[in-house]
Structure 1
Amino acid sequence: MALMALDHTRDFFSNAPFSPTDLNQTSAALFLTRWITHYCAPTFVFLTGVSAYLSTVRHAMTAWQLASYLLTRGVWLIVLELTVVRFGWAFSWNYHDLYGAVIWALGWSMIVLAGLVFLPRWAIGLFALVIIASHNLFDTIQPVDMGAWSWLWTILHVPGRIEYLPGYSLAVIYPLIPWVGVMAAGYWLAPVFLLAPKTRKILLLLLGLSLITAFLVLRLNNIYGDQPWSVQKDSLFTLFAILNCGKYPPSLLYLLMTLGPMLLGLVLFESSKLPGFSRPLLVFGRVPLFFYLIHLMLIHGTALVVGQFRGLPIDWLFRGFGFMPDMPTSRYGYDLLTVYAVWLVMLLLLYPVCHAYARFKQQHPEIRWLAYL
Structure 2
Amino acid sequence: MKFLDEFRDVETAQRLIDQIGNRCTRSWVLMDVCGGQTHGLVRSGIERELAGTVELIHGPGCPVCVTSTQSIDFAVALSLRPKTIVATFGDMIRVPGGDGSLMQARGRGGDLQMVYSPMDAVELASAKPDHEVIFLAVGFETTTPATALAVMQADQLGLSNFSIVASHVRVLPAMEAIMAMPDCRVEGFLAAGHVCSITGHDVYEPFVRQHQLPVVVTGFEPLDLLEGILRTVTLLESSRPVVDNRYGRGVQKHGNAAAQSLIETVYEVDDCDWRGFGTIADGGYRLRSRYEAFDASRKFESMTTSHHHNDRGCHAADVLSGRIKPKQCPAFGKTCTPESPLGAPMVSGEGACAAYYRFEPISIETP
The structure that is helix-richer by fraction is 1
TM-score bracket for the superposition, by shorter chain length:
under 0.3
Structure with more strand by fraction: 2
Higher relative contact order (CA 8 A, sep 6+): 1
Give the TM-score of the pair, scaled to structure 2. 0.25
